Amino acid sequence: MIFNDLPKFIFFTGKGGVGKTSLACATALSMADEGKRILLVSTDPASNVGQVFGTEIGNHITPIKGAAGLDAIEINPEEAAAEYRERIVGPIRGKLPDKVLKNIEEQLSGACATEIAAFDEFTGLLTDHDLTARYRHVVFDTAPSGHTIRLLQLPGAWSEFLKEGRGDASCLGPLAGLEKQRERYAAAVECLADATATRLILVARPSHSALSEAGRTSRELADIGIKNQHIAINGLMPKDSDGDRLASALARREEDALATMPPIIAILPRTNIPLQPENLVGIDALRRFLYDGSLGADALADAAADRSAMNLPTLAALIDELEWSGKGLVMLMGKGGVGKTTIAAAIATALADRGHKVLLTTTDPAAHLTETLGEVVPHLTVSRIDPTVETARYRIDVLETKGRDLDREGRAMLEEDLRSPCTEEIAVFQAFSRVIRESGRHFVVMDTAPTGHTLLLLDATSAYHRDIVRHAQGTTAVRVVTPMMRLQDPAQTKILIVTLPETTPVLEAAHLQDDLRRAHIEPWAWIVNASLSAAQTIHPLLVRRAHTETTQLEKVQHGLAQRFAVVPMMAQEPIGADGLRALSQAVGITRGLNLAVGLTSQNHAESISGSRL
């Protein structure tokens, strides 16, 4: 057992990529192995619980093969939204005109309704006493911090909104099902705040950025009444560095981060978890982690055999090609915690150093670009699409335009509608659209929110595109260019998928690529970040982890990416302009891999034969 004296409901949250899913799955498995009946729930839009257990799970409770007593469910936003729409529309289908039904379905097709549907299922699980009575514990593997805070705030936000009014047609469809659930949402709020029933485990890597994020998350959770918290520091390097420069640097970095962690989490009960020599994918790997502790010295030593050095494709070469257009939108996408913010800042700094005007911006509520950049860089401007700021701006704009000629009663109704949580989604989308337009004049490098949240934003973009095109049919006076059309045009937008050289992040990146292609958006390149294969190390544990990367690097090169780059794990944390420059200029060295060219197309390879691949 990793954690002791656990209550009924256990939540795992934290910055993306810190190991929430691994620890949630291992905790659930360890309790099931003790003979307890356990339900594991994923509320992450980019859930990978099914991948960890090698079981198709989906939006229904599913027994986990090889783990008696353990059931799991993934709250898939799209499936939840489809079921939610059907619950509302099904009873009236055939009773209303098709035009009216179509209008209702459109109201229920946006990102706001998707969020509400997932939230509806989440609160349903928390308050379904008949269901939870069947299980000794319910373990929640949540989305990355920013999205989780939003989810946990929703019971209170919607309860407050429903007390005051339903809003107008913009939220009428989604709210039609919510009004009936007032008591459920109130019960969910009460359960979350009950320290005897709920514990929230903040998972963090031993790094400054991850611990700072955990500190912010802890404070925000306390502000909404969730105070029964525990901190898990995951992936600690062993004290013995075996004379390896990279291992020594990583250990020192971790010690400094732990010594200076935010006081609000320093006082929490803590569990330290050492770095593992393998990815925790599969029940066998989870049980080795739980009961064996390591693979043993022989297995670590075997990984060091027969490794001849070769060059890897670099981020610098990718930036060379990005620069050719002289302007455009560069969007970095991927699972939380893979290093999108750092890579985005490195690319923006490199382009600015070459004399280009660059806007570096983010849609990630948990991102902190200014901390990563650390200083002023000539030609580079930094901004953030802050949901709170954008929502306030949107409300003022609507009141000054739509509300200008309304009487007192009409203005009061409009103000009531603008207090709906749906308003934030609209406001963020509008800000997103403004940034896309700006990329027609110079470079815009955008660090996006973790995968699931970004796909919801793209869904809003797609819905807006369909609406504009529908209204423009039959008119030829003005050529319509929507944000979605800009995203689909490779001359204007280049999508870079960032991942880690591990099984689960690569699988999730591949699923993201499939989702983008369904929206007719073709990713331009992949970036594999923090690679130990590309770093120089002789430490047995790091060598073993580097050995596990081989399959994933070859999979990216030969099966997934049109072009790609590999960024090595750095001895010094890439923070500040100089650290970011080192990241973009690093030359990766690997052993035993045929990865000399980063472009899968021979024509592309020939066209840049003079570059630094």
CB atoms within 10 A of CB 535: 20
Question: What is the distance between the alpha carbons of residues 583 and 586, in angstroms, rounded to a whole number?
Answer: 5
Compute CA 290 distance to the chain's CA centroid, rounded to the nearest angstrom. Answer: 26
| Cβ contact 456:205 at 8 Å | no
Catalytic site residue 20? yes
Question: What is the distance between the alpha carbons of residues 253 and 566, in angstroms, rounded to a whole number?
Answer: 22
Question: What is the distance between the alpha carbons of residues 296 and 318, in angstroms, rounded to a whole number?
Answer: 39
Question: What is the distance between the alpha carbons of residues 530 and 506, in angstroms, rounded to a whole number?
Answer: 13
Pick the catalytic residue from 14, 15, 22, 417: 22
| Cβ contact 57:25 at 8 Å | no
CB atoms within 10 A of CB 492: 17
Pick the catalytic residue from 13, 14, 20, 439: 20
Question: What is the distance between the alpha carbons of residues 110 and 105, in angstroms, rounded to a whole number?
Answer: 9
| Cβ contact 145:13 at 8 Å | yes
Report how far apart the first and last C-alpha atoms of the chain are (Å, whole number). Answer: 47
Pick the catalytic residue from 17, 167, 215, 334: 17
Question: What is the distance between the alpha carbons of residues 259 and 208, in angstroms, rounded to a whole number?
Answer: 10
Pick the catalytic residue from 14, 16, 19, 146: 19
Give one DSSP letter per residue of 8-27, joined into a string: SEEEEE-STTSSHHHHHHHH
Pick the catalytic residue from 16, 42, 44, 423: 44
The contacts of residue 176 (CB under 8 Å, 6+ apart) are 88
* Residues facing residue 568 across a β-bridge: 531
* Beta-strand relationship, 309-311 and 589-591: antiparallel
The contacts of residue 78 (CB under 8 Å, 6+ apart) are 114
Catalytic site residue 21? yes
Give Cα separations from 65 to 72, 213, 507 (angstroms): 11, 35, 21
Catalytic site residue 22? yes
Catalytic site residue 335? no
| The token pair that represents 293 in the structure block | 């502790």
Angle between helices 111-127 and 451-472 (to 10 degrees): 140
| The token pair that represents 254 in the structure block | 């971790």
Pick the catalytic residue from 504, 531, 537, 590: 504
Catalytic site residue 15? no
Nearest to 314 by CA among 597, 551, 608: 597
| Cβ contact 357:440 at 8 Å | no
Give one DSSP letter per residue of 241-293, joined into a string: -TT-HHHHHHHHHHHHHHHT--HHHHTS-EEEEEPPSS---SHHHHHIIIII-
The contacts of residue 52 (CB under 8 Å, 6+ apart) are 21, 22, 25, 280, 281, 282, 286, 504
Pick the catalytic residue from 13, 21, 209, 314: 21
* Beta-strand relationship, 70-74 and 137-141: unpaired
Active site residues: 17, 19-22, 44, 504
